[in-house]
């Protein structure tokens, strides 16, 4: 072979190599493009919940509900054929730990989506981080109304109502159906929710029924084990209505101690979170008291969108845990259903191509998704519009605990602060005609 | 009529509430105080023993009732379950703490904190996270009406008689035991000067084991006595231990009668706050603690000691 030939051969070889490199690069690049367009191996979902501390009375049932629902979803093929993998983490150790875990799950575990959280403090902490890290985050249980009233987010959405409808609905129920009262008292846990919910209660009552007298305002410490002084004071001051927005062991203890001393026979109790305690306090809670459920979460909902779905979930949850599902289980279900609906919406929008994080986040705005009871809509500000169920306790021989009668399902639009307004300011503008729009009570078929 | 005339009856009610709350607080704090006196370890795991005592009492009571036993057995079962908890958990914990005695105080504190975390998880493993309650003793003893003007205020007999009664028996019994029996005097001797007690032939190890087991049983009894009125939930031990520390610090470490008086001050103070200044209810125990420690840094009843170099 001549030198020229050798040179040509070299050139050809180099050309061939360059060509091969180019084709290879194109092929690799094409594969990457194909991978982006295709489905991932799995959808990783970080789920923040309380697995320790007093709020684990909500966090653990919610985890059990998530496991049940995700198992069922995966058994049915997952979302568009992609299976889900939940990664649970504990809110118990506090906000700092929560924030560190949130970042770790996004950066190291590469979770596709986050469900956070039960604690309002955790939600307030993670919302800006979700925005910064551009990670779609569903606020699945926390109730603070401040999130979407004080800031704008593109990656944060709430799949439930918030604290305003959770207080407004029971108070409207009280004013409409049990209006013969002139004195009220409060016993709330001494933290933000306890204080804020009482401020809302007072604002609504002052606006719609002026002249009601507050005879006692008591805020025992969070986790108190003894309410004897509070109960005695209530027995001595005889309020017509006692408002108590406590939850978990605190509410159970208060109800039992009040029942032991016949306070529940003397005053009407309004318990916005009472649904979650009914099975535990059993017959201690007599008939006639007003119960809320932080949504329309009730296993004997009078008009669920899909009665079979609710009955099947209730049955499967009971089989797994031995107890009836309480509101955090319903909240978890709403987050799971919202996630599925958003992926499906985004896939349709993109003609079947797997959505990016930004596209998935965009799909949540205006999303309407089914729940175990009524459909929920996510507004343009990210806040969920969910119906609120309020009822009155009644004894039923079929159950070892009081169930709800005379239930009113408030439409979410009616009791939720409009977009762009502050809840506290909006409540001050309520007009008495809102009472004429309160739906008629119905009793469950359960 | 002046303020007292207007509020005299309310004050009377507040005293009754304060007394029962003080009894509950005393039962929680006395074991912690006793243990600190002898072992010089501030035992954070005391809160776990309180919680486990509560859960154990509720479980035993529910078990007895489920087996068709007479409901009155739920009352002695409070004491029996506490003794069992003390006997099972006291000795191994004491053994562990003794292994770090002589180390820095911070290390000892951290060990008890680690124990607290472990026992908290153990508690969740056994009893789960849903609130547990067994109110048979309260239901059994019924209520008693206390006159209030033309009205009557129902109090539970459990709150009005049983709780203060048990606290009083515990206080008198402990004071008698420590001052009038040989074992009690040995405990006092080890409390005052462990080295001198050893030099006089007292088996300090045995005394510490006995004291710690008794302290553990008292913590469990505090939880057991709370269980008929309180829903037991994860975290109940943590909130209890904070209040116990306030009582022990105010009373003076190792002071049994001091703990009783401090508990009474806290009970009455909190109860009065609920009636007349509810905003201060939460801070009352700590306000009392700070006020006392500003004047008497060693606590109400402790005698200042000269430091040995």
Average pLDDT, stretch A285-293? 96
In the stretch 250-309 of chain B, residues with CB closer than 8 A to chain A read: 270-271, 274-275, 278-279, 281-282
pLDDT-derived band at A170 (thresholds 50, 70, 90) equals very high
Tell me, yes or no, whether B12 lies in a domain: no
Verify whether the Cβ–Cβ distance B233 to A59 is below 8 Å: no
Quick check: B143 and A260 CB within 8 A?
Answer: yes
Is it the case that residue A168 has pLDDT exceeding 70?
A: yes
- What is the residue extent of each domain of chain A? 42-161+304-382, 164-293+387-437
CATH topology agreement for domains A42-161+304-382 and A164-293+387-437? yes
Confidence check on the interface: ipTM exceeds 0.85, yes or no: no
The mean pLDDT of A32-42, rounded to a whole number, is: 65
Q: What is the mean pLDDT of residues A63-83?
A: 97
CB contact under 8 A, A261 and B156: yes
Measured between alpha carbons, how far is A419 from A421 in angstroms, rounded to an integer?
6
* Residue to substitute from A225, A255, A280, A324, interface B, most B β-carbons within 10 A: A225
In-domain check, residue B222: yes
* Amino acid A213: pLDDT: 97
Instruction: Report how many domains make up chain B.
Output: 1
Q: What are the chain B neighbours of A284 within 8 Å (beta carbons)?
A: 135
Using one digit for the tens of pLDDT, what is the confidence trace for A185-234? 999 998 889 999 999 999 999 999 999 999 999 999 888 888 999 999 99
Over residues B85-107, the pLDDT tens digits come to 999 999 999 999 888 877 888 89
In CATH, what is the architecture of A164-293+387-437? 3-Layer(aba) Sandwich (3.40)
CATH topology of domain A42-161+304-382: Rossmann fold (3.40.50)
Contacts of A228 in chain B (CB under 8 A): 17, 20-21, 155, 159
Q: For position A148, what pLDDT does the model report? A: 96
Is the per-residue pLDDT at A26 higher than 90?
no
Residue A445: the pLDDT is 53
Q: Is the pLDDT assigned to residue B129 strictly greater than 90? A: no
**Predicted TM-score (pTM) of this structure:** 0.84
Q: What is the C-alpha separation between A280 and A249, in angstroms, rounded?
A: 9
Whether B116 is covered by a domain: the verdict is yes
Q: Are B267 and B162 in contact (CB under 8 A)?
A: no
Judging contacts by C-beta atoms under 8 Å, the chain B residues touching residue A261 are 143, 153-156
- Residue B245 domain-assigned (yes or no): yes
pLDDT per residue over A148-165, tens digit each?
999 999 999 999 999 999
Greater confidence, A138 or B237?
A138
State the best of B16, B50, B129, B263 to mutate against chain A, taking most chain A CBs within 10 Å: B129
For B246, the domain range is 28-295
What does the pLDDT read at residue A37? 57
């Amino acid at each position: 072979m001549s030198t020229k030939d050798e040179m040509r051969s070299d050139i050809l070889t180099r050309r061939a190599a360059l060509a091969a490199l180019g084709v290879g690069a194109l092929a690799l690049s094409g594969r990457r493009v194909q991978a982006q367009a295709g489905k991932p191996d799995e959808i990783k979902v970080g789920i923040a919940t309380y697995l320790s501390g007093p709020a684990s009375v909500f966090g653990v049932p919610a985890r059990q509900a998530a496991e049940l629902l995700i198992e069922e979803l995966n058994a049915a093929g997952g979302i568009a054929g992609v299976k889900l993998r939940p990664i649970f983490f504990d809110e118990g150790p506090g906000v700092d730990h929560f924030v560190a875990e949130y970042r770790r799950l996004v950066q190291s575990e590469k979770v596709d989506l986050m469900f956070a959280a039960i604690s309002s403090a955790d939600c307030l902490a993670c919302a800006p981080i979700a925005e910064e890290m551009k990670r779609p985050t569903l606020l699945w249980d926390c109730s603070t109304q401040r999130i979407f009233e004080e800031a704008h987010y593109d990656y944060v959405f709430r799949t439930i109502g918030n604290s305003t409808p959770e207080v407004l609905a029971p108070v409207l129920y009280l004013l409409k159906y049990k209006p013969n009262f002139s004195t009220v008292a409060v016993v709330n846990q001494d933290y933000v929710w306890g204080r804020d919910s009482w401020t809302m209660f007072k604002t609504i009552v002052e606006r719609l029924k002026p002249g009601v007298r507050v005879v006692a305002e008591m805020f025992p410490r969070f986790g108190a084990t003894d309410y004897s002084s509070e109960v005695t004071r209530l027995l001595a001051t005889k309020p017509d209505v006692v408002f108590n927005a406590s939850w978990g062991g605190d509410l159970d203890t208060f109800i039992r101690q009040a029942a032991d001393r016949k306070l529940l026979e003397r005053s009407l109790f309004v318990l916005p979170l009472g649904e979650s305690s009914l099975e535990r306090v059993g017959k201690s809670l007599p008939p006639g008291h007003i119960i809320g459920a932080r949504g329309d979460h009730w296993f004997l909902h009078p008009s669920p969108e899909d009665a079979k779905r609710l009955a099947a979930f209730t049955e499967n949850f009971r089989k797994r845990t031995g107890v009836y599902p309480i509101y955090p289980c319903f909240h978890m279900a709403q987050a799971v259903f919202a996630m599925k609906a958003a992926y499906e919406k985004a896939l349709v929008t993109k003609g079947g191509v797997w959505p990016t994080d930004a596209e998935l986040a965009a799909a949540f705005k205006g999303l309407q998704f089914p729940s175990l009871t009524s459909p929920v809509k996510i507004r343009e500000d990210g806040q969920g519009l969910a119906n609120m169920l309020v009822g009155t306790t009644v004894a039923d021989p079929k159950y070892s605990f009081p169930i709800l009668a005379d239930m009113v399902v408030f439409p979410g639009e009616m009791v939720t602060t409009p977009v762009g307004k502050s809840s506290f300011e909006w409540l001050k503008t309520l007009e008495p005609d809102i009472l004429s729009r309160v739906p008629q009570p119905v009793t469950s078929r359960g | 009529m002046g303020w007292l005339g207007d509020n005299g009856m309310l004050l009377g009610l507040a005293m009754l509430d304060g007394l029962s709350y003080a009894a509950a607080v005393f039962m929680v704090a006395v074991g912690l105080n006793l243990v600190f006196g002898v072992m010089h370890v501030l035992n954070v795991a005391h809160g776990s023993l309180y919680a486990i005592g509560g859960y154990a009492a509720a479980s035993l009571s529910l078990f007895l009732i489920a087996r068709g036993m007479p409901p009155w057995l739920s009352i002695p079962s409070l004491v029996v379950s506490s003794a069992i908890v003390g006997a099972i958990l006291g000795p191994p914990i004491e053994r562990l703490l003794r292994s770090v005695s002589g180390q820095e105080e911070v290390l000892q504190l951290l060990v008890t904190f680690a124990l607290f975390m472990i026992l908290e998880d153990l508690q969740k493993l056994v009893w789960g996270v849903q609130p547990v309650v067994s109110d048979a003793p309260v239901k059994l003893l019924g209520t008693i009406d206390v006159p209030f003007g033309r009205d009557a205020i129902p109090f539970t007999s459990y709150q009005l008689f049983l709780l203060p009664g048990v606290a009083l028996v515990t206080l008198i019994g402990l004071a008698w035991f420590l001052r009038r029996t040989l074992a009690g005097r040995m405990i006092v001797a080890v409390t005052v000067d462990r080295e001198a007690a050893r030099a006089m032939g007292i088996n300090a190890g045995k005394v510490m084991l006995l004291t710690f087991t008794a302290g553990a049983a008292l913590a469990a009894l505090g939880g057991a006595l709370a269980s008929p009125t309180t829903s037991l939930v994860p975290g109940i031990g943590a909130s209890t231990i904070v209040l116990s520390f306030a009582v022990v610090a105010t009373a003076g470490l190792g002071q049994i009668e001091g703990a009783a008086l401090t508990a009474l001050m806290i009970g009455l103070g909190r109860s009065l706050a609920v009636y007349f200044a509810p905003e201060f209810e939460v801070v009352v125990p700590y306000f009392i603690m700070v006020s006392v420690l500003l004047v008497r840094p060693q606590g109400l009843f402790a005698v200042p000691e000269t430091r040995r170099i």
